[in-house]
Amino acid sequence: MMTLLQDYGLTQELLLILAIDLTIAVSLLTAMRYLQGWSVKVNSSHELAEKDNAAFGISTAGAVLALGVVLTGAITGAAAPDYLTEAIGMGAYGVFGMLLIKVGRVMHDKIALNNIDKNSQILKGNLSVALVDAAAAVATAIIIRASLLWVEDLTINTFIAIGTAFVVSQLMLVLLTRLRENRYSARNQGACMQEALAKGHTALAIRHAGHMLAMALTFNAASHFILFSPTAYVTNLLGWLCFSLVMLLALSLLLKLVKLLVLARINLADEIERQHNVGLASVEVAISIAIALILTGLMA
């Protein structure tokens, strides 16, 4: 059996390293599930299995998926020279990623969704707010993963660089939310997008979630263009900021063009915002993510 594994390049040392990574990953995913309940001072098992709170389940699913995305960035790459270094590296990146996801959610709640109480809405079963919350967590994770693949080694400068990309990502999520809010308000006689989400506007939530995920996916291209310099703190910050703004602009222009072609003769604003057309919102999400993936592929 070992001979067969070795034929495929799977040595005993590599298998042990894989086991270490998998054990740490599963442990962190388990912790993330319970952290969801602890953060809002509720019993997660009670919310999920007894109250059957679908909104809490969606929010928890977003957090767990987000951590899984981050962990793929921590696992990808060459194995460490010894088991202890591998465990420390995987654990450090995993815990740091979990911390950033949590901080990102708090920032999103306090800044992007500043007009509503997200946790209260989710505990009440608001699916729309839960969808936006889950998408924000996954979008943050996609950007953290991109930064993990961008950095090198395991030093304090590495974590500063990851934190830099994280700060830019939160700024861009807030900017995107404000742009979407202004457009919604202009088309709906000054109505507030956040209030619409609080009232359970599912189609609007699906569309906004798709835009956040699409924007996050374009960040993957940054690691191919921005050279990692451990001590160039300002250069790293400006690099991520400028690149993210350019990609957001490119994505917005392409989406506008493609939607005019793919969804010709359909009034998206009326269908999604006023008629709550979940089907069309889902199609718009698919278009947004598809264009983001294509754009990222071209940049890579």
Question: What is the full DSSP assignment across 259-275?
Answer: HHHHTTT--HIIIIIIS
Q: What kind and span of H or E run contains 277?
A: none
Q: What is the pTM of this model?
A: 0.87
Are 101 and 70 spatial neighbours (Cβ–Cβ below 8 Å)? yes
Q: Is 126 helix (H, G, I), strand (E, B) or coil?
A: coil
7-49: per-residue pLDDT in tens? 444 567 777 877 888 888 888 888 887 777 777 777 777 788 8
Could you tell me which of 183, 67, 44, 205 has the C-alpha nearest to residue 126? 205
Angle separating helix axes 127-150 and 202-218, nearest 10 degrees: 0
Q: Give the 3-state secondary structure of residue 41.
A: coil
DSSP three-state, residue 146? helix
- Residue 277 CA to its chain's centroid (Å): 25
- Look at the chain and report how many structural domains it folds into: 1
Per residue in 244-271, pLDDT (tens digit) is 888 888 888 999 899 889 888 889 888 9
Per-residue pLDDT of the chain (300 residues; tens, 9 = 90+): 445 444 444 567 777 877 888 888 888 888 887 777 777 777 777 788 888 889 999 998 998 899 888 888 777 555 566 677 777 778 888 888 888 888 888 888 889 888 898 889 999 999 999 999 999 999 999 988 888 878 777 678 888 888 888 888 888 889 999 999 999 999 998 899 999 999 999 999 999 999 999 999 987 776 677 777 777 778 888 888 888 888 888 888 999 899 889 888 889 888 999 999 999 999 999 999 999 988 888 876
* φ and ψ of 187, to 5 deg: -90, -10
Cβ count within 10 A of residue 167: 17
40/164 Cα distance (integer angstroms)? 27
Please give the residue range of the domain that contains residue 210.
2-299
Return the HEC string of 243-263. Answer: HHHHHHHHHHHHHHHHHHHHC
Q: Are 289 and 210 in contact (CB under 8 A)?
A: yes
> At residue 52, what are phi and psi to the nearest 5 degrees?
55, 45
Amino acid at 33: R
